[in-house]
Amino acid sequence: MNQDYKVVGREIKRIIADDIVTGKAVFTDDLRVTGMVYGKVLRSPYPHARITRIEVDRAKACDGVHAVVTYKDIPDNIYITNQMTPAPHYRPLNETVRFVGDPVALVVADTEDIALDAMELIEVEYEELPPVFTIDEALAPDAPQLYHVFPGNIAPPIFPGLDDLDLRWVIRKQDLPGRISLWKWTGRLKAARTPCRQKPLCVLHSGMMIC
Kindly calculate the radius of gyration of the chain based on its CA atoms and give it in whole angstroms. Answer: 26
Position 57: which residue type?
D
Give CA angle at 152 (150, 155), nearest 5°: 40
Model pLDDT for residues 101-150, shown as the tens digit of each residue: 999 999 999 999 999 999 999 999 999 999 999 999 999 999 999 888 78
Tally: H helices and E strands in the chain = 4, 13
pTM (2 decimals)? Answer: 0.64
Beta pairing class for 79-80 and 103-109: unpaired
Residues of the chain with pLDDT under 70: 1-3, 80-90, 156-211
pLDDT value of position 159? 52
CA angle 49, 51, 53 (to 5 degrees): 150
d(CA 9, CA 4): 10
- H/E run at residue 58: helix 57-60
